[in-house]
Chains A and B, each alone.
Chain A
Amino acid sequence: MKLEIRDVCKSFSSKQILHNVSFTVSSGKAMGFLGRNGAGKTTTIRSLMNVFKQDSGEFLLDGQHLDVTKVKIGYLPEERGMYSKEKILDQLIYFARLKGAKYKEAKESAEYWLKRFELDYAKHHKLETLSKGNQQKVQIAQALLNDPDVYIFDEPFSGLDPVNSQVLKDVIQEKIDQGKLVIFSSHQMSYVDEFCDEIALIDKGRIILSGSLKSIKEAMGEGKVRIKFKQMSNEDSINWMKNHLPQFQCESDRQSLIVSIIDTTSKEFLKLCALKDADVEYFAPYRPTLHDIFVKKVGEENA
């Protein structure tokens, strides 16, 4: 399956929020829809879910107009909400049935996901009796009911502790491996860096970067290498570079030095280090983190 978001524009009270938003998502690949708070992620997702209609542009699934009532979609809205005073299993069955499941299927699906999230003990409890994190898991379970073909998670990691974030990452990865189409939005880059295949970066309602994360990292890391010298702090390493190889510009992060080797190859650079008797502990091509990419691109846009 391939979902195309094509030239979507949306205004509220004559203020334009989305400006020709376009990107593509394919099945079997984790798609991270990234942006700062208020960048337009939720507005795009709500337009996609037909919560409100976009002013112009279209959503196409395999080239056809996307009708959200006819495709099995698992949706986790940014505004989390379920019935706080209803029993958990009852309301999960209700939501599954509203999406077209028969009672038996709905019950089986709800029980499966409650067990998977280690909440089967609470299935007859009211939602309000659970902790905030566990309520969040029930809401995620709601999005997973009935084995949908398309999953749309709006900020799924917000409010989850590292253990539950990992549980969710595993579930998302499982769905991707099953060939499902998955989009999730986030402003927490570290959570999604590890398993995003594709990204679309939105800022002030405009897509400023989209495509394969690997290609983006390669392109943005071109001409830079990471190097770490044995038994040397980053500060000492920078001083060593200034004294022995002053022609190369370098900076450091918490891991190592990042050196620009624009006019030479990494092999040549490593040779020069060896000639200067450097004791190299670690050497690799530089690949920026999603956080670095995000900060750089958003910074460029706002410059």
Chain B
Amino acid sequence: MHNVDKVFMFELKSILQKKSVLVTTIIIASLFFIATFIPMIIGFFDKEEPISEGPQNPSMYLIGEAAIVLNTSELSVEELELFIEQLDVFATQSELENQIRNNRYSIGYIIDSPTSFTYVVNNQELYSYSSSMFQSVLSQIQVNKNLIEQNLDPNQVHQAFNVQIHSESIILGKDASNGFLMTYILMFAVYMLVIMYGSFVSTSVAREKDNRTMELLITSTKPATLIVGKVFANGVAGIVQFGSVILAGLLGLLINQNSFPEELLQMLKGGMAWDSWAIFLIFTISGYLLYLFIYASLGSLVSKVEDVGASVTPITMLFIVAYLIASIGMQMPNGLALRIGSYVPFTAILAMPIRYTLSTVGWYELVISMILMILATLIFAYLSIRIYRLGSLNYGNKIGFIKAIKMVIKKENA
């Protein structure tokens, strides 16, 4: 393994000197940096706008604008205007429909009685609250009428119902809402890191087979040296690239921190404690290496660069499953999926740091998961070295990963 440093430096240099890597990093880092100026730019334009006087009694309005056809005499326009800021009344349904077709209004209401209406819309959106808001308006008018009939003052009744309850919470464990944003950003970064650099490392190995450099390499040094050097170089290159992007974002954030809403800054700054960061780093680095070793060995099992995609699909799918478990688990940090996922090394890379940040994890759980993760990384690193040696000069048919493992085990036992 004494040549690992040479392989590492050569590979790292060749990755970081690639124009595509340099340009991508600069573009993404610049975008992140520029993005942090957005609140400041918005704030700058907001100041220029004149402050509107607003309605006289804004608290009463439930709807800003509405187009209606009133087919009942039991309800008056004046009653509706108490709750609708801008009310346009049309005589017939067809007139209203024409206005909507011509995009003058997005929605219209045909009121048949004080308690029933039909709404007309050009295109129905998936989530639309207009109809329920109008329903509230009619309901409110009717409730007020009923209260007056009973000789009750609607304002007094509303006041009686309007009770403000003050509450405070004491969180003994962790507040999931605090770390949510930062955890989500980190989970996505790790996802991109593994997918991108996994693909890089497998392509790099396959290219050495494709351009026949492999025979020179394995007669110059040991396969273990080659794969370890390559995996670490790709690993570090990934961290350098992502680190640059994160640094650019942080720098921008530092410059523009006064423009950001206080709540957002709190979510970013106070999201994760130092122990969460440590857990995140341990599991990410270990899991990242685990995946990179597997990706590298899969690259050695194909003869041509164009076959890499098909070869790495199973491991990519597995990682996507890990990502899905983690993202679903973020909503329910104590759920069964995230609990199980935080023990399985292939999913623990994302699941355990998320669970640890958003929920309470016993130290023994952490230790077990960590041991399993490190063991799996070591076992798969060893298997990957053997598979790399096996696949490195196999230029025939593609060997599957499972078949390759069986061949390695058979060879070991022979």
Instruction: Please list the residues of chain A having a beta carbon within 8 angstroms of any beta carbon in chain B.
Output: 46, 49-52, 68-69, 73, 75, 77, 79-86, 90, 94-95, 97-99, 142
Q: Which chain B residues in 208-249 approach chain A with CB under 8 Å?
A: 208, 211-222
Flag B1-14 by CB within 8 Å of A: 1 or 0 each: 00100110010011
B212 engages A80 (CB within 8 Å): yes
B216 engages A81 (CB within 8 Å): yes
Interface centre among A50, A77, A142 (most CB of B within 10 A): A77
B10 engages A77 (CB within 8 Å): no
A69-B222, A90-B10 known; 7 new pairs, CB 8 Å cut-off, are A77-B215, A80-B212, A81-B211, A82-B216, A83-B14, A97-B6, A98-B7
Residue of A nearest to B214 (CB): A81
Q: In the complex, what residues of B have CB within 8 A of residue A69's CB?
A: 222
A83 engages B213 (CB within 8 Å): yes
Given contacts A86-B14, A97-B6, A98-B3, contact A51 B213 (CB under 8 A): no
Nearest CB of B to A238, in Å: 50
B216 engages A51 (CB within 8 Å): no
Nearest CB of A to B216, in Å: 6
In the assembled complex, B141 has its CB within 8 A of some CB on chain A: no
Interface centre among B13, B216, B393 (most CB of A within 10 A): B216
Given contacts A81-B211, A84-B211, A86-B14, contact A95 B216 (CB under 8 A): yes
B221 engages A98 (CB within 8 Å): yes
Residue of B nearest to A69 (CB): B222
B215 engages A79 (CB within 8 Å): yes
26 A-B residue pairs with Cβ-Cβ distance under 8 Å, sorted by A, are: A46-B215, A51-B215, A51-B219, A51-B393, A73-B219, A75-B216, A80-B212, A81-B208, A81-B211, A81-B216, A82-B211, A82-B213, A82-B216, A83-B14, A83-B211, A83-B213, A84-B211, A85-B14, A86-B14, A90-B13, A94-B10, A95-B216, A97-B6, A98-B7, A99-B220, A142-B216
Complex Cα gap A85–B393 (Å): 21
Complex Cα gap A267–B336 (Å): 103
Q: In the complex, what residues of B have CB within 8 A of residue A99's CB?
A: 220-221
Complex Cα gap A49–B7 (Å): 21
Complex Cα gap A82–B220 (Å): 13
Partner of A95, one of B14, B212, B214, B220: B220
Inter-chain contact total with CB atoms closer than 8 Å: 53
Residue of B nearest to A83 (CB): B213
Nearest CB of A to B380, in Å: 24
State the majority secondary structure of interface residues on B.
helix
Residue of A nearest to B221 (CB): A98
A52 engages B393 (CB within 8 Å): yes
Q: In the complex, what residues of A have CB within 8 A of residue B14's CB?
A: 83, 85-86
Q: Which chain B residues in 1-50 approach chain A with CB under 8 Å?
A: 3, 6-7, 10, 13-14
Complex Cα gap A84–B213 (Å): 9
A49 engages B219 (CB within 8 Å): yes
Flag B289-324 by CB within 8 Å of A: 1 or 0 each: 000000000000000000000000000000000000
Nearest CB of A to B122, in Å: 56
Q: In the complex, what residues of B have CB within 8 A of residue A86's CB?
A: 14
Instruction: Please list the residues of chain B having a beta carbon within 8 angstroms of any beta carbon in chain A.
Output: 3, 6-7, 10, 13-14, 208, 211-222, 393
Given contacts A77-B212, A80-B212, A81-B211, contact A98 B393 (CB under 8 A): no
Residue of B nearest to A73 (CB): B219
Q: In the complex, what residues of A have CB within 8 A of residue B218's CB?
A: 51
Nearest CB of B to A279, in Å: 58
Complex Cα gap A97–B222 (Å): 13
Nearest CB of B to A109, in Å: 14
Partner of A79, one of B212, B221, B222: B212
Q: In the complex, what residues of B have CB within 8 A of residue A97's CB?
A: 3, 6
Q: In the complex, what residues of B have CB within 8 A of residue A142's CB?
A: 216
Given contacts A52-B393, A82-B211, A84-B211, contact A94 B6 (CB under 8 A): yes
Complex Cα gap A15–B211 (Å): 27
Complex Cα gap A81–B7 (Å): 17
Nearest CB of A to B11, in Å: 10
Q: In the complex, what residues of B have CB within 8 A of residue A50's CB?
A: 219
Complex Cα gap A90–B14 (Å): 10
Given contacts A51-B393, A94-B10, contact A81 B212 (CB under 8 A): yes
Q: In the complex, what residues of B have CB within 8 A of residue A49's CB?
A: 219
Q: In the complex, what residues of A have CB within 8 A of residue B208's CB?
A: 81
Complex Cα gap A82–B217 (Å): 9
Q: In the complex, what residues of A have CB within 8 A of residue B213's CB?
A: 81-83
Complex Cα gap A42–B271 (Å): 61
Complex Cα gap A90–B164 (Å): 74
Complex Cα gap A52–B389 (Å): 10
Q: In the complex, what residues of A have CB within 8 A of residue B216's CB?
A: 75, 77, 81-82, 95, 142
Nearest CB of B to A229, in Å: 53
Nearest CB of A to B413, in Å: 16
Complex Cα gap A42–B62 (Å): 86
Complex Cα gap A80–B218 (Å): 14
Complex Cα gap A101–B48 (Å): 69
Nearest CB of A to B116, in Å: 73
Q: In the complex, what residues of B have CB within 8 A of residue A81's CB?
A: 208, 211-216
Q: In the complex, what residues of B have CB within 8 A of residue A83's CB?
A: 14, 211, 213
Complex Cα gap A95–B218 (Å): 11
Nearest CB of B to A142, in Å: 7
Complex Cα gap A90–B10 (Å): 9
Complex Cα gap A84–B208 (Å): 10
Complex Cα gap A99–B221 (Å): 7
Q: In the complex, what residues of A have CB within 8 A of residue B212's CB?
A: 77, 79-81
Q: In the complex, what residues of B have CB within 8 A of residue A46's CB?
A: 215
Complex Cα gap A95–B7 (Å): 10
Q: In the complex, what residues of A have CB within 8 A of residue B6's CB?
A: 94, 97-98
Q: In the complex, what residues of B have CB within 8 A of residue A82's CB?
A: 211, 213, 216
B10 engages A75 (CB within 8 Å): no
Q: In the complex, what residues of A have CB within 8 A of residue B211's CB?
A: 81-84
Complex Cα gap A30–B217 (Å): 26
Q: In the complex, what residues of A have CB within 8 A of residue B221's CB?
A: 98-99
Q: In the complex, what residues of B have CB within 8 A of residue A68's CB?
A: 219
Nearest CB of B to A70, in Å: 13
Nearest CB of A to B223, in Å: 11
